[in-house]
Amino acid sequence: MDTRFELIDRCTTFNELLHDMELLLNKEHLFYGHGTGNAMDESMAILMYLSESNDVLDEEQLKTSISDQVQEKAKEVCIRELLNRSLCHI
């Protein structure tokens, strides 16, 4: 497994997941030459989308409402996004 993904794969809590998603998304450059610059927002958006929330939730609200299933799906989405970004560099 790519070492970039080992970090996110070991996440067990919401805080770890959010933090590691942010680190990973911020590291990987987009195809037009720079990082996202707002990886925390991107991570929160992924988690809110997957939790199917109709309201804008802050970190604490999302933390209490997110299921284990959504957390696992978020890991998959984040890894897929990183792979997509990596492929843009080939």
Rounded-to-integer distance, Cα 50 and Cα 16, Å: 17
Residue 65 has pLDDT above 50, yes or no: yes
Dihedral of CA atoms 89, 29, 39, 43 in degrees, nearest 10, equals: 10
The pLDDT value recorded for residue 52 is 72
Establish how many alpha carbons lie within 13 A of residue 33's alpha carbon, considering only the half-sphere containing its beta carbon. 1
Average pLDDT, stretch 60-73?
76
Closest alpha carbon to 25 in 16, 12, 36: 36
Per the structure, the count of domains in the chain is 1
Establish how many alpha carbons lie within 13 A of residue 38's alpha carbon, considering only the half-sphere containing its beta carbon. 5
Residue type, 37: G
Of the pLDDT bands very low, low, confident and very high (cuts 50, 70, 90), residue 27 is low
Domain of 64, in residue numbers: 3-87
**The two structure tokens encoding residue 74:** 């978020």
